[in-house]
Chains A and B, each alone.
Chain A
Amino acid sequence: MLFNSYSFIIFFIIMLVMHNLPFSWKVKKIHLLIASYIFYAAWNPPFILLLWLSTVVDFFVGKALYHEENKSKRKLLLVVSLIGNLGMLCFFKYGSFLLENFVALVNTFGIDYHPAKPNIILPAGISFYTFTTLCYTIDMYKRESKPVKTLLDFSLFVTFFPHLVAGPIVRPGQLVPQFETPRTATRNQLVQGLFLLSLGLFMKVVVADTLLAGTSDSVFNFPNALAALDAWAGVLAFSGQIFFDFAGYSTCAIGIAMCLGFSLPENFRFPYAAIGFSDFWRRWHITLSTWLRDYLYIPLGGNRGSKARVYMNLMITMLLGGLWHGASWTFVIWGGLHGLYLCVEKWIVGMRKPALKIVELQPAIETPEKETVTASASFAPTFLKSRQVRLFMAALLTFFLVNITWVFFRCPDFDSAWRMLASMFGFEKNGAPLLATIDIIKVLVVTVLLLATHWFMRNTSVLAVAQKTKWWLVGIIWSSMLILLVLSQKSSDSFIYFQF
């Protein structure tokens, strides 16, 4: 069930009513759990079996991991959980990709092997709920938190519909305690939740789908070289589209949870105002980057060891992070580019730290909790005197480099990606003009507003700003968003991150 659908509106109203009726807390939790299964089954009912399997196995394995004293048995249980979760993910998400690469490999050795293409359907949200359950069993293995007391609470933790399909990726400690005591939203929480839901839908339906998706699709589906203006407009359109699409989903999820009295972790913090790439990953898909930090980067060794080792850890983390997004080498290159940027940034900071008094520029996967404002003077041209201007220029440079990575993220293959890059940088002399002027205007207006908003709000939050603003102004902005939503109506489609 999509948040931007009529069926969800009906579903959500029923949920709100049920959640506020005078039932016991246990009954309300059962309502929430059943609703979450209905929410999931509304896509493809049979896949609910996978969700049950994952939930039941990890609940009992997690409990056993926590209580078991025998080290060998504990390791065996962990392996069972890892194989169960990652095996399922590998089969459904990477099965075709692995087979394709295996066939290509054996063919290069002269073995004539051409198996039938498997027709595997990717269950919605499998990457997200696998990471949710995986972190639970790993935490149990490390005994970092206590096992969830009941299967009901654990099932709800895994399945809670606002985060189930596309995050934010929640940790047991963030959500399970909220199920232990009765919760309903206060009037203020309810209104703020509805405000966030409206904002998220506005981001998704109006900006991502209506204003940007058409341009992005036209450019990236064009089979020939493009004029530089069109290529850049397409890349900027995708850059905005993916942010508004995914951040829109997260904002909806947080708002919906808030309407029910729950709190979900922040997932985006104005990422296009990032100064450098460690800052970017503190702001983009925060729950994934912190997950990768805690369950991959640090176990690999993190910052410990030689510089070469640290760089290698960073690269491995980002390459796998890229692969998490999709079963294609283009996603691996996307992750690799981000890894490379992080390594270069780390190297520059290491080289120039004493002279430049850099405030803080550690990779997010090392110190994401720090709220320190980051600065990367190393990027700033010397003729710019004002610190704010220098920082802004550094943010623009980061945004520029992020856009390069989006080319690999969006293009279906490397030929298209190289052609797009060549078009963007003027290496294609006969690039075709493609986009209507109105489409270019839409992209430019949205991009300028996006960058300005991110820059001015980089150290605050939407709700904090709304709290400081006059109520009538909030009302006008809110109603403008809803009016544009009504006008955009059916231009909407599925969320991009569902495919991951």
Chain B
Amino acid sequence: MKVNQFAKAGLLTVAVVVTFIFCWETYWRTKGFVATFNDDKVLWANARKAVYQPIDKATVFIGSSRIKFDLDIAEWEKLTGEKAVQLALVGTSPRQLLQDLANDEKFKGKLVVDVTEPLFFSQIPVFHKSANEAVDFYKKQTPSEKFSSSINFALESRFVFLEEGRFSLNTLLNDLEVPSRPGVFVVPPFPKGFEWTKFNRQTFMSAGFLADTQLINRQTNIWKKLIMGNPAPPVSGKPLQAILDEVAAAVKKIQSRGGKVIFVRTPSSGPMAEGEQKTFPRAKYWDALLAASNARGIHYADNEKTASFICPEWSHLSPNDAILYTQYLIEEMRQLGWFS
């Protein structure tokens, strides 16, 4: 190749790459996908900055995926006039997040802790990994990473294909679902329309997903395998007491600084709810948690309006029901004096 032909190769490269990006983006848009955000530690760290607002200006939410789907942030902010800071992490116990806020002397605000028992009381490291990584990233984020994340957010808000959980190389390879050897546990790929995230970390199911029974069945089968298929017995005895003590101490720390903490049990339904009630009986876990921490709690089953919600895939509310649930939750919280 002659010297000036390297430039020709460069021009061809630019043309091919630009064409590919245009076609790739257009293809996914025609399939009904819209630009959403990667629900990762970078987005979490961005939200984490907002916890220091005055107590009458914001409520911080931690938990697992349910509160991310079930709390409609726009509705919350419209009805309360306060900001909702969403710090829950999918597939993760919020206990590390609670510790992080409890140990942060500057945090003196209101905190809602969402409880999904199989995750909240889990001692399996993988259910704490994302929380540890997110907190660690937030604390060690470099100036360069902060600048990069602002560019990244701007790009993610415009391009569909930048959603890593759906369109990255590894996700596309995993979508091939090559059968694995017996004894190997592989997390099955979630349907692409199941979990979409906005910049404020509001997560929701797409209309396409909700309209497709096959996709919903696929998701319930994943829950069967992932959560309901877990053969490990739930934590009890001394380890459970240790968890309750640790949570109680964290709650006390926040309350001692003038902060408020409330526990929330968001809805589940169908076989998922039955399995949770059987494995994590309310008296032994939820009631014990409230008693140990001396904090208030709102359980969806205690309110006939929220008890009747049906989760399409047994575990999370649809966007429309999330609006209603948020209204009922605010109502109950007002009665408990949360906003006063």
Contacts and interface: CB of A to CB of B under 8 A. Distances in A.
Do A and B come from the same complex?
yes
B4 interface: yes
A188 to B, nearest CB: 5
Nearest to B165: A490
A438 B178 contact: yes
Contacts of A195: 6, 9-10
Interface string B10-45: 111100110011000000000000000010100000
Interface stretch (A51-59, A234-242, A311-319, A470-478): A470-478
A441 interface: yes
B217 interface: no
Contacts of A472: 8-9, 12
A214 B171 CA distance: 12
Nearest to A486: B21
A330 B256 CA distance: 46
Name which of A5, A44, A476 has the most chain B CB atoms within 10 A of its CB.
Answer: A5
Interface stretch (A19-27, A243-251, A284-292, A429-437): A429-437
A474 B144 contact: no
Contacts of A198: 13
B180 interface: yes
B276 interface: no
Interface residues of A, number: 53
Contacts of B142: 42-44
Interface string B154-177: 010000011010011110111010
Contacts of A211: 169-170
Interface of A: 1-2, 5-8, 10, 41-45, 187-188, 191-192, 194-195, 198, 206, 210-211, 214, 432-438, 441-442, 466-472, 474-476, 478-479, 482-484, 486-491
B5 A5 contact: no
B13 A471 contact: no
Name which of A195, A438, A469, A482 has the most chain B CB atoms within 10 A of its CB.
Answer: A438
B12 A487 contact: no
Contacts of A438: 173-174, 176, 178, 180
A491 B3 contact: no
A478 B147 contact: no
B9 A489 contact: no
A41 B143 CA distance: 8
14 contacts: A5-B148, A6-B148, A7-B147, A10-B147, A42-B142, A42-B144, A43-B142, A188-B3, A211-B170, A437-B181, A471-B6, A479-B12, A490-B40, A490-B164
Contacts of A187: 4, 7
A444 to B, nearest CB: 13
Contact of B1 (A194, A471, A478): A471
Given A42-B144, A44-B142, A188-B3, A471 B179 contact: no
A441 B178 CA distance: 10
A465 B174 CA distance: 34
A370 to B, nearest CB: 30
Contacts of B232: none
Nearest to A206: B169
A491 B10 contact: no
Contacts of A43: 142-144
Given A438-B173, A441-B178, A482 B17 contact: yes
Contacts of A7: 144-145, 147-148, 151
Contacts of A432: 183
